[in-house]
Structure formats: C-alpha cells, structure tokens
C-alpha cells in the first residue's frame, strides 16, 4: 500500500505525518501551539484555528520533504474531521480535501478518538500487534473514556467522565497551585517531592458499578484545602497537595480500569489487552497504577510512547491506512464534526 499523509488539527497541535502500510514513519512534523495559548492559561479556539491556518502548509511541506515525496506518491490523505474545535477541524479537513481533489487521491475523514484507539496497532508497538478486541483507556485533556475497540469503525463506549477529563483535572488543579499551563507535567514534577498521604482527598466514583469517572469533586476538595491553608502556600505544602491529588487520581483510574476490564471480559471473554493513550498516560504514576490494575485482572498493559500517546498526525495517517485497507474512504462533502462519538462510526464492510 502506498504511504498516507495524515493531518491533525483538532486542538492545539498542528501536525502532519507520512506513514507507509508497514507503519513506518517516513516524515513527521508536530507543532504545539504553546506560545499562542499560554498567556490565556488554556486553548483559545479562535487563536488555535488561525494558528492552524498559518502553520499547516509548512508542517505538511516538512513532513512530505522528510519523506522525500510529492502528493502523487501518496495512496491517500487522512485528516482529523472530529471531535474537536470546529475551526481547526475545518482547516485540516479542507486542506486534505483540497489535496485529494487536486491529485485524485482518496480522502479519509478520521475520527480523532479512533485514531488514538488504533495507534496500538502500529506495527511494532505491542508484541502481537494488538488484535481486536482490546480495551482502550483514553486519558487526554479533552476526553476520558473506556472504549471496547472491536474493529475499524467498531467501538463500544463502556464509560467515561461525567464532568472534567483527566487532563483537564490535572490542568485545573495545577492552576490552583499556581503552576503554568499545561499543568499536568508540572504537577507531576512537584508531586515527586510531596507526601501523598499528608492531605486527605476524596476518590470520586471509586467502587461504583461501571467505569464512569468524575473529577469535579476532587478538584473542589483541592480548592477547599488551599482555601483553608491560605493563599501563601509553601513549596512543601504545594508538593503535598500535588502528590495527594495525583495519588487520588491514580487510585480512581486504577479502580475504573479494573471495572472496565471486567466489563470487557464479560462481553469479550478472549480480551486481554488494556491500551492507555492520551497525554495523561505519560504520567509515570498513572502508568504504574494502571499496570498493576491490568496485572490484577490478567490483562497486559500497552502504553504507546508519549509522542504517539499525545496528539500527533502519525495516528491519523495510520487510522487512514486501516480504513483504506478495508476499502473505506470518504466523499469530499464529509463534514467536520465538533462532536462525533465513537460508537456512531460506520464499520467498513468486511
Ligand atoms: O492527549 P493530549 O496531548 O491532548 C489532548 O488533550 O487531546 O493531552 C493533554 C493533556 C493535558 O491536560 C496535560 O496536562 C495532560 O494531558 N498531561 C499530563 C501529563 N502530561 C500531559 N497529565 C498528568 N501528568 C503528565 N505527565
Ligand atoms: Zn487527542
């Protein structure tokens, strides 16, 4: 199969990548719009859309030249068409459609969540290649979901967050602690110096049936703790709060993962793989907690490398390859969709 160009513009990464049918990354360019959004403490959709417009052509040029290719060498062009911020989705998918139309190359409108879900199937990442079905625990800044991945275009949402996404909770608590955005990595860094047992924090949803998550109560508890101590936190207090919060999140995620694995086994007795993805999966304590949880249920844990866990265009190109291989592609009037739940995807005929 000829290589596919992937384009990712659903949030604040402007990324392009060329991947071949064997999963080899021939060219890649990822630009994180940190400088644009940092002054506002979060992603500003309008600024993101304008930045994608400005940066995307250069990113595509860079990925294509690294791959030593022209558009005529491609077997397809895959762009994230949802879910995400509508401005960026339009920029990326219209770019893809333009190239598709100009060069007569098939276009694939990729669901961003499916791209995260199928990343584990990139050759070489998981020892036996992540055969379906497997369980995906997606923990990013915008999504926290447990998904049964049954096939390309075939997904079942087992549960997810009722309020904040896991990364969003890290970011908000980091902000309460006065850390810079995005707060997840900064919070993990200071948590390393803290005592996770010093501050009592709740574990929302723990031991409840199902695998839904909720973080708003935990975030409020942190805010109340800080209010009680007063505005001038010492570095030690800050570290203890960060460590206590991180421990609470890990406990909740491990418990929810155990429930999700049990749900998965009930439906698919052969399932034995838990894949974690999303920026939060780069947190070492989260990985360790989930590995333990997986072990306790006889599952193995696969955590793709951080650069493939967070938003990137390799996963979009790969999702395109999986669709194209099954004979799937999309028409040029496929809409960009800010909301696009995974279980509404259409499975290609098999
Ligand atoms: O998947 P991602 O790169 O982008 C999307 O949200 O789609 O995830 C970013 C999120 C942010 O909320 C960030 O704070 C969080 O992942 N994150 C972390 C860590 N690294 C990134 N959270 C906790 N610990 C980390 N080390
Ligand atoms: Zn993502």
To test the pocket of ligand 1, the residue of 41, 140, 252, 277 to mutate (highest count of ligand atoms within 8 Å of its CB) is 140
Regarding the beta carbon of 84 and ligand 1, being less than 6 Å apart is answered no
pLDDT tens digits along 44-74: 999 999 999 999 999 999 999 999 999 999 9
* Containing structural domain, residue 247: 133-303
Q: What is the mean pLDDT of residues 88-111?
A: 98
| Atom 8 in ligand 1: residue holding the nearest Cα | 279
**Mean pLDDT computed over every residue of the chain:** 95
Kindly tell me if the per-residue pLDDT of 346 is higher than 80.
Answer: no
Same domain, 113 and 8: yes
| Ligand 1 nearest atom to the CA of residue 183, by list position | 14
Q: What is the mean pLDDT of residues 108-123?
A: 95
Q: What is the pLDDT at residue 350?
A: 53
pLDDT tens digits along 8-36: 999 999 999 999 999 999 999 999 998 89
pLDDT tens digits along 301-319: 998 898 898 899 999 999 9
Q: What is the mean pLDDT of residues 328-346?
A: 91
Same domain, 214 and 140: yes
Cα of 222 from ligand 2 centre, angstroms: 26
Residue 271 forms beta bridges with which residues? Answer: none
Same domain, 90 and 170: no
pLDDT tens digits along 218-254: 999 999 999 999 878 999 999 999 999 999 999 999 9
Same domain, 146 and 265: yes
350 in any annotated domain: no
In the chain, the number of structural domains is 2
Same domain, 137 and 155: yes
The better pLDDT of the pair 75, 345 is held by 75
The C-alpha atoms of residue 177 and residue 205 are separated, in whole angstroms, by: 24
Supply the CATH number for residue 270's domain. 3.30.420.40
Regarding the beta carbon of 182 and ligand 1, being less than 6 Å apart is answered yes
The number of the ligand nearest the C-alpha atom of 8 reads: 2
The C-alpha atoms of residue 331 and residue 336 are separated, in whole angstroms, by: 12
175 in any annotated domain: yes
Cα of 348 from ligand 1 centre, angstroms: 31
Q: Which ranges in 119-234 belong to alpha helices (H)?
A: 166-176, 183-191, 216-229
Regarding the beta carbon of 283 and ligand 1, being less than 6 Å apart is answered yes
Same domain, 56 and 156: no
Kindly tell me if the per-residue pLDDT of 300 is higher than 90.
Answer: yes
Same domain, 72 and 41: yes
80: which DSSP letter?
E
pLDDT tens digits along 183-197: 999 999 999 999 999
Same domain, 180 and 292: yes
Same domain, 166 and 273: yes
Same domain, 102 and 219: no
Same domain, 222 and 269: yes
233 in any annotated domain: yes
123 in any annotated domain: no
The number of the ligand nearest the C-alpha atom of 116 reads: 2
Tokens standing for 304?
Answer: 């793709």
Same domain, 97 and 180: no
């Amino acid at each position: 199969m000829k290589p596919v160009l992937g384009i990712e513009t659903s949030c604040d990464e402007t990324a392009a990548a060329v991947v071949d049918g064997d999963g080899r990354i021939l060219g890649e360019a990822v630009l994180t719009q940190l400088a644009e959004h940092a002054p506002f403490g979060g992603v500003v959709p309008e600024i993101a859309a304008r930045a994608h417009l400005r940066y995307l052509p250069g990113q595509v040029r860079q990925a294509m030249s690294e791959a030593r290719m022209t558009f005529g060498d491609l077997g397809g062009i895959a762009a994230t068409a949802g879910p995400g911020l509508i401005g960026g989705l339009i920029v990326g998918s219209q770019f893809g459609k333009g190239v598709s139309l100009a060069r007569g190359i098939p276009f694939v409108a990729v669901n961003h969540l499916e791209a995260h879900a199928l990343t584990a199937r990139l050759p070489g990442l998981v020892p036996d290649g992540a055969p379906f079905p497997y369980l995906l625990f997606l923990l990013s800044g915008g999504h926290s979901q447990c998904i049964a991945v049954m096939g390309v275009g075939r997904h079942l949402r087992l549960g997810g967050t009722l309020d904040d996404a896991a990364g969003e909770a890290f970011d908000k608590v980091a902000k309460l602690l006065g850390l810079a955005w995005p707060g997840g990595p900064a919070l993990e860094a200071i948590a390393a110096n803290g005592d996770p047992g010093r501050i009592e924090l709740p574990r929302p949803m723990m031991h409840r049936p199902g695998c839904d998550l909720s973080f708003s109560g935990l975030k409020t508890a942190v805010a109340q703790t800080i209010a009680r101590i007063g505005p001038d936190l010492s570095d030690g207090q800050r570290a203890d709060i960060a460590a206590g919060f991180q421990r609470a999140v890990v406990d909740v995620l491990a418990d929810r993962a155990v429930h999700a694995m049990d749900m998965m086994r009930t439906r698919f007795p052969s399932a034995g793989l838990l894949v974690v993805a999303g920026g939060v999966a780069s947190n070492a304590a989260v990985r360790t907690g989930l590995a333990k949880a997986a072990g306790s249920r006889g599952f193995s844990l696969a955590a793709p490398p951080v650069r493939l866990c967070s938003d990137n265009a390799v996963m979009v190109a790969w999702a395109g390859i999986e669709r194209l291989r099954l004979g799937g592609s999309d028409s040029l009037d496929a809409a960009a969709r800010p909301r696009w739940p995974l279980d509404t995807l259409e499975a290609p005929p098999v």
